[in-house]
Amino acid sequence: MQNNFMKKFDANAAASKDSGIFGLPYSVEEAKLVLLPVPWEVTTSYGRGTAKGPQAILQASKQIDLFDMELGNFFEAGIAMQKESKAVQQWNKEAGKLAQKIIAAGGVEASAKLRKIATKVDQYSVRLNEYVYSSTKHILSQGKRVGVVGGDHSTPFGAIQAFLEKYPAMGILHFDAHADLRAAFEGFEYSHASIMHNVVEKTGLTHLVQVGIRDFCEEEFHYIKKNSQRITTFFDTALAEKKLSGASWSTICEEIINCLPAEVYVSFDIDGLDPRFCPHTGTPVPGGLDLQEALYLIKKVAQSGRKIIGFDLNEVSPGTAVSSCVADPAAEWDANVGARLLYKLCGWALV
């Protein structure tokens, strides 16, 4: 069916209005790789807009030229994005209103009322985790690849659980500006700032390799040291010093890759990149990786003989400024970069 369909599809032409992700013609049933959009940003505590990320990426993706010099026409395997869940959209609105009361107060300390509200927010988060888990498990059971598109960085927890059931020896390559190892940040157990803490504490993951980390609290720093058998963190300052001292990025990548097992899941928070690539992301931090450095590392992981089994991309925001509810037209750039990064993640997961 796909071969016949592809004969009618012109990969060199402009995307049609009714096309799917990247302008492709595939349905979810036909696709080898299925993208799961998760429009969720309940606990984001600074800039917002990541819940609109999946749709913004979808629209921007149709401007991408499909041919890839490194990977060829990998899209012919089939890539499709599911429709956003209306239930998740509603949960995001309801839980978001509750969470804002706590965020505005700076946390739940010294308030029994706020702690009760946080419990309700956590219940919504558990519901979301179950949705992402069951959706991911269903797609994997069909022999397909899965990529999660957030939303804030709390969104892939259920997916990681599903992947670990199928690939128990897998490791996570985590791109981020933040360590995301806080325990129940601002009172939220499933905060976007706690995703990797929850993964380490609530799953059997044995290898978490973090790259680009440059914003973290003392508690997280000591947590990394305490869990050094499971967590390896390549802090951005150390990476920058190595490069400034003459070390090649290729050599640094070898050091990073040597910490990873044979099966690798990529968890990519867009703010792991230099903010010039994602100025509207929720919590931008100076420093970070160049886009080509990140793509080179992902390529080298695949070329090392390791298998990229799945991925998530989060915190892409077409969003709103911190002090305004008016969308910034310039934020299309974030979706543009996010779509191109997503395309390469799809390619290395398929090839």
- E strands of 41-82, at which residues? 79-81
Which tens digit of pLDDT belongs to each residue from 317-347?
A: 986 544 344 456 667 899 999 999 999 999 9
Dihedral sign for Cα atoms in the order 250, 254, 257, 262: positive
Entry pTM: 0.94
Share of the chain above pLDDT 90, in %: 87
| CATH classification code of 2-350 | 3.40.800.10
Sequence spans of domains, the chain? 2-350
pLDDT tens per residue, range 43-93: 987 778 999 999 999 999 999 999 999 999 999 999 999 999 999 999 999
CA distance linking residue 31 with residue 38, whole number of Å: 19
Determine the Cα–Cα distance for residues 326 and 314; give it in Å rounded to an integer.
22
Q: Tens digit of pLDDT for each residue in 158-202?
A: 999 999 999 999 999 999 999 999 998 888 999 999 999 999 999
More confident residue, 111 or 227: 227
Q: Return the closest-CA partner of residue 267 out of 334, 198, 189.
A: 198
Q: 213 near 256, Cβ under 8 Å?
A: no
Buried b / exposed e over 101-111, threshold 16 CB at 10 Å, is ebbebebbeee
Alpha-carbon separation of residue 161 from 127, 134, 211, 265 (angstroms): 14, 10, 21, 11
Average predicted confidence (pLDDT) for the chain: 93
What does the H/E/C string look like for 312-335? EEECCCCCECCCCCCECHHHHHHH
